[in-house]
Chain A
Amino acid sequence: MNGSAVPMNTPLDEPNDNPQGAVAVTALAPAKAPVEPTGLTPARRRLLMASFFVLVMAIWHFAVVLLQVSPLIFPGPLAVTRALVELVQSGEIVKHLGVTLYEILAGFAFGAIFGLVLGALIGQSALLEAVLYPYVVAFQTVPKVAVAPLFVLWFGFDTTSKVVITATIVFFPVLANTIVGLRSAPRDQIELMRAFTASPWHVFKMVRLPHALPYVFAGLEIGIVLAVIGAIVGEFVGAQAGLGYLILQRNFSMDAAGMFAVLVVLSLIGLMLHSLMKFIARRVIFWTEAFTDLSRGS
């Protein structure tokens, strides 16, 4: 993509009042064409992905058949599909899906808001960081799964305890990323703002906050995936409804295929929420593309 070297390939909206047009044109960044790093066209990539899926399903199916694994222990893909269809057709899924989705989203919302607000406070004040942050880290080192029974004890078997557990899990990555993000603003940009007589509030609003957004969204992306875990863990400890509850129920009745079916639904939820998050991120932090991928794995 070295089109900028050839004057004929330069964008049409070049300025005609630009006296240094020739200089500027050669220095223009090359147009951003959607080239996939794989070197494949999108259609071929999707075809390959689908083929891989079919291959794994086939291996799974034949492994189960050939090794004569008991369907009570490890059902084949066909049995799982049947269980999934049944789950959807009976309408049983609707209620449990609704409960778990509510727990995920409410817990995510509370955890994210709390992480953002506390992160903004700590990110702005060295004093708050010195006093509060060690405790926040100490709290984070306690496995939330281990605390879950307490939350159920305090908030009951209802959805509230799951929302609380989810919120505590989502909270930390959002908090940590917000703090780092607020500190990521380049010094010279802040200096320039100060030279133009900006108040600390202006600097926060115009420079620090927008600079923090890519980090915040990376935290939210991690958070939304963790939220699914939080809700299920909460339901495992004690619940009356939800997909986690459904998994336990199937487990007691030795219905492995049914458990797999719920797992499929769960992973679909996770995928969907994560894609939604990425979709929103791309629109809000349109000026950077690198960030969301950079911190996804952390």
Chain B
Amino acid sequence: MNMPLTPQQAEAPAFSFDRLQKEFRSKDGGDVIALRDVGFEVRNGEFVTVVGPSGCGKSTLLRILAGLERASSGTVALGGKAVTGPSRDIGVVFQAPVLLPWRTVLQNVLVPAQIQGRDIKVATERAMHYLALVGLGNFATKYPGELSGGMQQRVGIARAFVNDPMLLLMDEPFGALDAMTRETMNLELHKLKERTGATIMLVTHSIPEAVFLGDRVVVMSPRPGRVTQIVEVDLPHPRSLDMINTDRFGAYVSSIRTNLNAAGGLD
């Protein structure tokens, strides 16, 4: 694990898609193309957001990278190696927090560490560290049923971080939250990212969320999902919620919206 990296490995992107294609067989027998010719690379430590209308295949893209689904053709590489299945180097957060109700908050955060047979003592320290970072330091012994939806989702985020994954995948993690909680969660995630330097891919259908969080925003068209635009977000770090009201932020949002509308629109 600690072998010195060759220059090639050091320069290898965190992950990359190349001419990725995904087809589904629909119920009436016809083929549905979910993803067509998707290709982009993401650097280590980059926060990339993927935005597009529902059904554009952005979740499928994330699931392929997570090893939960196979691409029909094309390649996906994680740290220079082809993805063949779920990887220990990846942490995931879904739209629902999916916590285990019979486990305490701390025990939930430890699930990935237990699955991967890691040192539980070390993992417990890290779990407590991340729980504190997401503002749940005092909730370690509570059960999920005692927490609000936003708090549960934060537990899910701490859980994704517990093994210090190379890459964090988030599939509309705040989609089920109310607008106010969502904004504060965005800010917290941004801070967490600044502190940990993690590589993150976050899928969302909120353009402001994508712009606020992303170093780059990958814009996808409706079915068949293609990448229509990749926008470098040149906003200063650390970002603050005030930025949402600036002209520059607004310009990014409206340019992406225009692009999406041209490609078939957000429904």
Contact = CB atoms under 8 A, between A and B. Distances in A.
> Are A and B subunits of one complex?
yes
Interface of A: 13-20, 23-24, 27-29, 186, 188-189, 191-199, 202, 206-207, 210, 285-288
Nearest to A19: B135
A197 B87 contact: yes
Interface of B: 66-68, 85-88, 90-92, 94, 96, 98, 100-102, 111-112, 114-116, 132, 135-139, 143, 145-151, 180-181, 184, 188
A14 B137 CA distance: 11
Contacts of B143: 287
Contacts of A20: 135, 150, 181, 184, 188
A194 B68 CA distance: 8
Nearest to A21: B135
A20 B92 CA distance: 23
A67 B85 CA distance: 80
Contact of A287 (B96, B101, B111): B101
A106 B136 CA distance: 48
Given A16-B138, A198-B115, A27 B149 contact: yes
A186 B94 CA distance: 13
Contacts of A14: 138
A205 to B, nearest CB: 10
Contacts, number: 95
Q: Rank and list the top 9 A-B pairs by shortest CB-CB distance, nearest first.
A: A27-B148, A15-B138, A18-B135, A196-B112, A287-B101, A195-B92, A198-B115, A287-B102, A197-B86
A14 B135 CA distance: 11
B150 A188 contact: no
Contacts of A191: 68, 94
B135 A17 contact: yes
A192 to B, nearest CB: 5
B80 to A, nearest CB: 19
A57 to B, nearest CB: 43
Contact of B151 (A24, A189, A207): A24
B98 A186 contact: yes
Given A195-B92, A196-B116, A27 B150 contact: yes
